Chain A
Amino acid sequence: MEVPRIDFEIDEDIRHSEKEWRLERAGWIVMGLVTLAALSGILGRGPLSRQSATDASARLTVRYDRFERAHAKSEIRLEIAPAAIAPGLFQVWIDRNYLDGLRIVSMDPEPERFEVSSDRVIYTYNAAGTPLSLDIDCEFEESGNHRGRAGISGGPEVAWEQFAYP
């Protein structure tokens, strides 16, 4: 590094500045890595975040994002194989603890009715309008780990885990 002939009053500290520049460059690398992590989905929705959970009999599949952000729009999809749908009314349930951490914005299709039990919320559908996939638009109200569980009444159930960033 060049050393100037200083004949005026200045509190230059080039050694400190050199340390700062090194730290600056390290910071740029960290920022680049954070950007890559965001693009890949590690910091929210993205290719690496998209996951699904299916029960052993492959009758119920839940599609979700492993990494979410609190207070941001989120989507969970329950896919029910036709074999799992009995004629008449059938019921899908979601764990109540999981729903307590969520704010459901909309469900498509809307259920005929819903009931709340001690550990789950049960949504009743008419099999005539057979819903093969149930889309839930929601928002996580709290950051942290969220364990989900859903199933078809008297049928298979699946569990999954999501993490919501603050």
Chain B
Amino acid sequence: MEAVIRGCIVYLFVLIIFRISGNRTLAKSTSFDFVLLLIISETIQEALVDDDHSMTHGFLLIVTLVGLSIALSFLKQYFPSLDKWIDGSPVILMDHGKLLTERLAKVRVDERDILESARKSHGIERLEQIKYAVLERSGEIAVIPAAAP
């Protein structure tokens, strides 16, 4: 019983914490973010396992966590507003080469992040070559290039 309760509490806690921290927290792939993710996973493991290292406990935790994930995906399908609260919605950050500064400030993304994504995905060199930049629900920045003159 404890494994299921622990699994549920930790799952909900992690869900809330990552929603509060914003979409970009897990998507940023700097080395520091990677280390942060490792530390968090190690800490969560301690809270989940506690002092029960049996296989049964481990299996129960996996079943609980995967089960919650499946249940949540069903709920999101039936309740689109819940989907928005859990996964967020995309935010347009650049409109026809113009930075939407208020939105950038709110989502804590800057020009360099957009240019980095643009370089990686389309080999874009300058901001004016971008038509739209969108912060996706996954936390990644999608870039739609402007049509070549």
Contact = CB atoms under 8 A, between A and B. Distances in A.
Contacts, number: 57
Interface residues of B, number: 25
Interface string B91-103: 1100110001111
A1 B91 contact: no
Given A10-B90, A31-B20, A1 B102 contact: yes
Contacts of A5: 95-96
B131 to A, nearest CB: 9
Contact of A2 (B85, B90, B95, B144): B95
Contacts of A30: 20
A25 to B, nearest CB: 9
Nearest to A22: B106
Contacts of A18: 106
A21 interface: yes
B100 A4 contact: yes
Interface of A: 1-2, 4-6, 8, 10-14, 16-18, 20-21, 23-24, 27-28, 30-31, 71
Contacts of A17: 88-89, 91, 106
Contacts of A4: 92, 95-96, 100, 132
A24 B20 contact: yes
26 contacts: A1-B103, A2-B100, A2-B101, A2-B103, A4-B92, A4-B96, A5-B95, A6-B92, A8-B132, A8-B144, A10-B134, A11-B90, A12-B89, A12-B91, A12-B92, A13-B84, A17-B106, A20-B88, A21-B106, A21-B107, A23-B20, A24-B19, A27-B19, A27-B20, A27-B21, A31-B20
Nearest to B94: A4
Interface in B119-145: 132, 134, 144
